[in-house]
Amino acid sequence: MSDVAQEKVNISTASRPSEAVDVLIPEVDNYVAYTLKTQKVLPPVQWSNLLNELNWISFVVLTLPPAVGVVGAFYVRLQWQTAVWSVAYYFLTGLGITAGYHRLWAHRAYNASLPLQYLLALLGAGSIQGSIKWWCRNHRAHHRYTDTDLDPYSAHRGFWYSHIGWMLIKHRRKPGAADVSDLRHNFVVRWQHKHYFSLILIMAFILPTLVAYLAWGDAKGGFIYAGVIRLVFVHHSTFCVNSLAHWLGETPFDDKHTSRDHLVTALLTIGEGYHNFHHQFPMDYRNAIKWYQYDPTKWTIWIMSQVGLASHLKVFPDNEVRKGQLTMELKSLRRMQEKLAWPSDSDDLPVISWESFTSQAERRPLLLISGFIHDVSNFIEEHPGGEYLLRKYVGKDATTAFFGGVYDHSNAAHNLLAMNRVGVLRGGSPHSLTDKRGVPPSQRLRVARYTELLTTGSSSAYSDEENDSL
């Protein structure tokens, strides 16, 4: 049995108890509500308990590099080779997080060969954001309990909390349960976790310094710019996925949660800015689905698959993606529809006899079209075809004339006419949905909730009461 196989056997037997504890979810109807009610919570952070409640390791990792970077940049001149190397190393270590920690290990969006896994684990260590195991455990809880108090970096707790605050202070409550047993079986993940401290020193500081020193003799610049300052940029680039990507932009796929899509976030996060899509389809290896959208992480994974280092790139069916987009577009159209005034329905109008209609038409201009009685007094003088044509039909059935007998009216004319409905003729044309002429063009295609569709068809009820006053 090889060492790796031996390792696997040991893991599967030795790690079972802690695994079971980690993914233990009580059998309750609502896990989130139950946990929020029963779980112990640390007291709120105040000035008086701040020093006790700070997470000192994270605090040092997040505050020391910016301070050293600012002072260092003051004393160390930036050489152009070092500048290029710093930017390149920013992208490389950033990809360790986006293509490695995030899309490979947290979401299993593709399979990576062993050499690529080691490379991503090393680069990810160079961005000092905790081990893969720790990072993915929080990120899976973030997806599972998005925006609730079990989400470790819930956007509802404010921009700065989700950006950095959640790491600076001790968690007020434990993040919701998330299954990371697959990662515990992953040899590379275990290896990185075990040697994490040495790996971050080598990858975050020693390697970038050494490259600049050996290639163009700039050890100090390599340390300050490609090491320290690059690290600060990578930190805040990733943090923007938790803050900015839940705050800035549009929700083209779903608006249930705070995640959003925006180009600016994508530019700042090596392509993780299409976060609304990502929260809907987290196992998709893409964040941007259009070829012209900025997603270098997706491009990298694709290139890796082309050279044989990655495989099984997961893509959600386009049909399902478009359903989300359609729903959001319909919602927007619905809002527009609700802002407009619509004609009265036959249910809401009084039912009038023929005799009553003709006698009332002597006092004001009433026309009968498609079984609806219309009062055209506001319109008669502005009728594009002339007042005479309208007067000719007052007190009469003008249906045929209106529907092309005299003039084939525009859709706008049909819509406008319907706004002048004042009654329904008893025994007139049926006003059901099967009679197209009774439905103005603007209402033939509408956005309706499914509960509204269930009640459709009962709208042709007539009142027995004669109402002479219209």
* Tokens standing for residue 4: 């790796």
User: What residue number has its CB nearest to Zn ion?
Assistant: 259
Ramachandran angles phi, psi of 366, nearest 5°: -110, 130
CB of 291 to Zn ion, least distance (A): 22
- Enumerate residues 6+ apart whose C-beta is below 8 A from 216: 79, 81, 82
* Tokens standing for residue 418: 């319907």
Our CB check for Zn ion shows the closer of 289 and 417 to be: 289
Closest CA to 86 of 235, 227, 234, 237: 227
Our CB check for Zn ion shows the closer of 141 and 425 to be: 141
Our CB check for Zn ion shows the closer of 259 and 265 to be: 259
Our CB check for Zn ion shows the closer of 32 and 470 to be: 32
* Tokens standing for residue 394: 């007052």
CB of 195 to Zn ion, least distance (A): 25
Our CB check for Zn ion shows the closer of 152 and 440 to be: 152
Tell me, by CB under 5 A, how many residues bind Zn ion.
1
> What are the b/e assignments for 393-417, b being 16+ CB within 10 Å?
bbbebbbebbeeeeeebeeebbbbb
Instruction: Note whether 92 and 166 are within 8 A (CB).
Output: no
Please give the residues from 249 up to 308 whose contact with Zn ion meets the rule CB under 5 A.
Answer: 259
CB of 153 to Zn ion, least distance (A): 8
CB of 242 to Zn ion, least distance (A): 6
Our CB check for Zn ion shows the closer of 86 and 259 to be: 259
> SS3 sequence, 402-417?
HECCCCECCHHHHHHH
Our CB check for Zn ion shows the closer of 225 and 277 to be: 277
CB of 241 to Zn ion, least distance (A): 6
Please give the residues from 311 up to 370 whose contact with Zn ion meets the rule CB under 5 A.
Answer: none
Q: N- to C-terminal Cα distance for the chain?
A: 93
CB of 129 to Zn ion, least distance (A): 14
CB of 282 to Zn ion, least distance (A): 5
Give the 3-state secondary structure percentages of the chain, helix then strand then coil, rounded to 5: 55, 5, 35
Q: How far apart are CA 256 and CA 327, in angstroms?
A: 12
Binding site for Zn ion (CB under 5 A): 259
